[in-house]
Chain A
Amino acid sequence: GAGVSQSPSNKVTEKGKDVELRCDPISGHTALYWYRQSLGQGLEFLIYFQGNSAPDKSGLPSDRFSAERTGGSVSTLTIQRTQQEDSAVYLCASRRDHYNEQFFGPGTRLTVL
């Protein structure tokens, strides 16, 4: 079946602009995660949605970052007033339940000029 999809695959923006990144999880998966990965670095946790519970936002680096998940499916990560240090690959993952593995999307490569 279809895996996790993300769009756009690449995004180039100017410093100070807002961007929206989209994640379509696998159908039926209740958990959704956002991570980012800077060049040569490991994955940095950003935010986690589980069902109808309040999201765990503890990994968001600043209040310029926000995310929502509508209808328990699609999620959008929004970065306001982008900075050059926001340049990274943003990865989304979904998981069916607590004891199963995460499935990752291909990521969105964000470049802030």
Chain B
Amino acid sequence: DAKTTQPTSMDCAEGRAANLPCNHSTISGNEYVYWYRQIHSQGPQYIIHGLKNNETNEMASLIITEDRKSSTLILPHATLRDTAVYYCIVRVGYRDDKIIFGKGTRLHILP
């Protein structure tokens, strides 16, 4: 079973920041939070990951709460090409690496 919960869908206006929430209340101390996205008819694409500190790369920022029970993926200036399903994943541990994808959030960028 997926260890995360995400809203089924969200809308965001083009050019605005898209903030995608994820709850992972049962996360363990050695588990990382990963985000992937899947654009229609393509394989999933890695976006970003983090343990407890906030992270930023060329694609997005990841904000993890202090208790690590939730996180937010931020796409700072959403474009139409960011329309996709976004998956928040908690890695289940160092040895058991069967990464489980939930249903994700379908993000619609509106022109």
Chain A residues with CB under 8 Å of chain B are 4, 31, 33, 35, 41-43, 45, 48, 50, 56, 58-59, 91, 93, 98-99, 101-107
Q: Contact between B43 and A91 (Cβ–Cβ < 8 Å)?
A: yes
Could you show 11 A-B contacts with beta carbons less than 8 Å apart?
A: A31-B97, A41-B103, A42-B103, A43-B44, A43-B87, A45-B101, A48-B97, A48-B98, A56-B96, A59-B98, A93-B44
Q: Contact between B103 and A103 (Cβ–Cβ < 8 Å)?
A: no
Q: Is B21's beta carbon under 8 Å from chain A?
A: no
Residues in B whose Cβ lies below 8 Å from that of A4: 43
**Interface on chain A toward B: helix, strand, loop, or mixed SS?**
loop
Chain B residues with CB under 8 Å of chain A are 2, 32, 34, 36, 42-46, 49, 87, 94, 96-104
> CA separation between A33 and B99, bound complex, in Å?
9
**Interface on chain B toward A: helix, strand, loop, or mixed SS?**
loop
> CA separation between A47 and B48, bound complex, in Å?
24
Q: Contact between A91 and B44 (Cβ–Cβ < 8 Å)?
A: yes
Q: Contact between A93 and B43 (Cβ–Cβ < 8 Å)?
A: yes
> CA separation between A45 and B98, bound complex, in Å?
8
> CA separation between A107 and B46, bound complex, in Å?
16
> CA separation between A24 and B106, bound complex, in Å?
29
CB closest chain-A residue, reference B35: A101
> CA separation between A12 and B82, bound complex, in Å?
31
> CA separation between A59 and B34, bound complex, in Å?
21
